[in-house]
Amino acid sequence: MKKVHLWLLLLPGLLFLTIFMIIPIFMTIGSTFYHEGEFTVDGYVKLLSDPYMLKILGTTLQVSFVTTLVCILLGFPTAYYISKTKARTKGILLMLALFPLLTSAIVRSFSWMVILGKNGLVNQFLLGIGLIDDPLKILYTPTAMMIGMIHLFLPLMIISLVGVMENIDGDLLQASESLGASRWKGFMSIIVPLCVPGLIVGSILVFVGSLTAYTTPQLLGGKQRVIATFLYQNAMTLNDWYMASVIATVMIVITFIIIGLMNRLARKLNPKG
C-alpha cells in the first residue's frame, strides 16, 4: 500500500520527463541512424573525419576542462572559508557567491564584452600602465569564453563544495594536528579527500554546463565555434537537422563518458565517499 503511494508521487514528474525529454532524446538518437530511408552511420563517419569538427570538439573539451579546473582552484578556498563562518555570515556570503547565476547570461556576456574588448577596461588598464603597446586580443578567443564561463559556473562549484564541507566534523582537523600533522598536511590528508564527493558533483555540473553552454560562447567566442554553437549553426543556419542530431548525440555520449570517468575517479580518491 505504502509503495503504491510513493509511486503515485513519482508519476507526474516521470510522465513529464518521459514525454518531453526521454522520448525526444531517443527519437533524436534514432534519427541519426536512419537517413533518407535507410540505416546508416554516415553522419558519424562524416562528422568524426571532418578536421573542422574535430577542432571544434577539441576546443570545446579544452574550454570545458580549463573552466572546471579554474573553478576548482578558485572555488575550493572560497567554499572552505564560507563553510567556516557563522550561520548568518554564511547566508550572506552564499547569496553573494550565487549572484552571477541570478543575472541573465546575455547581460553578463555583454558586460564581459565591455571589459575584454579591444578598447575594454583590461586593455585600457594595461596600455595605461605601459605594460603593453598594442591592445591584446582577448575577446572572441577561447580565453574569453573561459572567463565568461568561469564567472557563470563558479557558483555551482562553490555550493557543491560548501554542502560537503559543512558536514565535515571540525574535530577531524584538530585530531590530525594532535597526531602530529601540520595544518596544511591535515588539510590535504583529511579535508580534501572528504571533499571529493562535492568536488565531483561540482565538476560534473561545471563541465557538463560548459560543454553544453550556448549563449556565453556565442557572444564571447565570435567566430570561434564550440559544439553547442556549431550545432545551432547546422540546425538553424544550414538547416541540416540530420547533422544537428548527430552532433547532439555525440554531445550526449561525451557527457555520459565524462560523468562515468568522474565517478570512477571519485571512488578511487575516496573509497568511502
C-alpha cell at 89: 555570515
Q: Report the half-sphere exposure of 141 (CA within 13 A, side-chain side).
A: 8
Per DSSP, the three-state class of 186 is: helix
Per DSSP, the three-state class of 180 is: coil
Taking a C-beta distance cutoff of 8 angstroms, is the pair 243, 234 a contact? yes
Q: For the window 114-153, what string marks contact with other proteins as x by the rule CB under 8 A? A: ----------------------------------------
Determine the Cα–Cα distance for residues 234 and 240; give it in Å rounded to an integer: 5
> Is 261 near other proteins (CB under 8 A)?
no
Determine the Cα–Cα distance for residues 235 and 230; give it in Å rounded to an integer: 9
Among 100, 120, 163, 193, binds other proteins (CB under 8 A): 193
> Is 50 near other proteins (CB under 8 A)?
no
Minimum CB separation of residue 183 from other proteins in Å reads 8
Q: Which is nearer to other proteins, 118 or 183 (CB)?
A: 183
Determine the Cα–Cα distance for residues 12 and 68; give it in Å rounded to an integer: 34
> Is 267 near other proteins (CB under 8 A)?
no
Minimum CB separation of residue 83 from other proteins in Å reads 17
Q: For the window 151-190, what string marks contact with other proteins as x by the rule CB under 8 A? A: ------------------x-xx-xxxxxxxxx--x---xx
DSSP letter, residue 229:
H
Minimum CB separation of residue 80 from other proteins in Å reads 17
Q: How many residues of this chain bind other proteins (CB under 8 A)?
A: 21
* C-alpha distance across the termini of the chain, in Å: 34
Q: Rule CB under 8 A: which residues touch other proteins?
A: 169, 171-172, 174-182, 185, 189-190, 193-194, 270-273
